[in-house]
Amino acid sequence: MAELNIAWESVTTVTTKATKTAVVTGDESEANKNVETEELVLKWGERPVIVYVCDEAAGCEGFDKLEEVVLKDEKVALGMKAFKTVKMHPDHAALDPLLADSGKELPRMLVIDPTKMKVKVLEKGQLKASTLFSAMSQAAGKVYKEKLDKVVKDHLKVLTEQDQLINAQKVLSDKETRLSSEDGKSAERELAELKKERAEVDDELAELKKKITALWTLTPKEDKTPKEDKKSA
């Protein structure tokens, strides 16, 4: 099912350095100074990140189980929509300032909370669907107002409705094909009715797609910038 496919992007680093300017106030004999410092930030801003670390070319013990069981779990696969999902070679992960000390085993999953630049490491026996989804829920909860578990459950309900409509669509299409080869006014009337039903099903499917888009339009938690800073901005 296309909805459960995870879009991985291969990267060599997840962090970058940003210049931050702070005003330092001196005593009466010193003028105020602008001091520039560098801080580590994620390349994708405030979006939570999942990092999949593995050397696929060399092979990783447990790779098949992770790919075929854990990452195909419905809750995990759908929950990934709330994250930037990237793959990294272990050599690149070892050089990234944020990830350098985040586990050694392969494969491993790293869940990054961008609000505190904290990394949750999942490796070996922790590579289970339930454990991974729990870590994802915690990280997403730091960033978004919506609860990840509820959004995923709502999406699963929509997928059930979608499957039912697709099946109905197929039945109608088969009937249309059969009737299109028949003659007579009765067949024409039935064919016209089927086309009308088919159009209604198509409209319902289109509405469900909109509903899915709305579900994953997640709301960032309120900006915590001090009021004084906002007034001066």
> What is the domain count for the chain?
2
Q: Is residue 114 part of a domain?
A: yes
pLDDT value of position 33: 59
156 and 47 fall within a common domain: no
Q: Is residue 122 part of a domain?
A: yes
pLDDT at 229 over 60: no
pLDDT value of position 112: 97
Among the residues of the chain, which ranges form H helices?
A: 63-65, 74-79, 90-95, 129-143, 148-179, 185-215, 227-232
Q: Is residue 30 part of a domain?
A: no
pLDDT value of position 103: 96
Residues 6+ apart with CB under 8 A from 55: 89, 90, 106
107 and 157 fall within a common domain: no
CATH code, 94:
3.40.30.10
Q: Is residue 184 part of a domain?
A: yes
What percent of the chain is modeled with pLDDT above 90?
66
pTM: 0.81
45 and 11 fall within a common domain: yes
pLDDT at 101 over 70: yes
- Give the pLDDT band (50/70/90) at residue 22: low
71 and 104 fall within a common domain: yes
pLDDT value of position 49: 97
Q: Is residue 34 part of a domain?
A: no
Residues, the chain: 233
Q: For 199-208, write each residue's pLDDT tens digit.
A: 999 999 999 9
7 and 75 fall within a common domain: yes
Kind and range of the H or E element at 178?
helix 148-179
Domain that holds residue 87: 2-16+40-143
pLDDT at 151 over 70: yes
* CA 82-18-47 angle, 5° bins: 5
9 and 118 fall within a common domain: yes
Q: For residues 176 and 190, is the Cβ–Cβ distance under 8 A?
A: no
Neighbours of 199 (CB within 10 A): 11
76 and 186 fall within a common domain: no
The mean predicted confidence, pLDDT, of the chain is 87
Residues 6+ apart with CB under 8 A from 202: 169
Query: Does residue 74 or residue 192 have the better pLDDT?
Result: 74
pLDDT at 230 over 50: no
Q: Is residue 228 part of a domain?
A: no
Token look-up 């009715």 returns 193
**C-alpha to C-alpha distance for 231 and 73, rounded to whole angstroms:** 46
Q: Is residue 61 part of a domain?
A: yes
**3-class SS of residue 86:** strand
94 and 11 fall within a common domain: yes
Weakest mean pLDDT among 11-15, 18-22, 136-140, 205-209: 18-22
pLDDT at 225 over 50: no
Residues 6+ apart with CB under 8 A from 89: 12, 53, 55
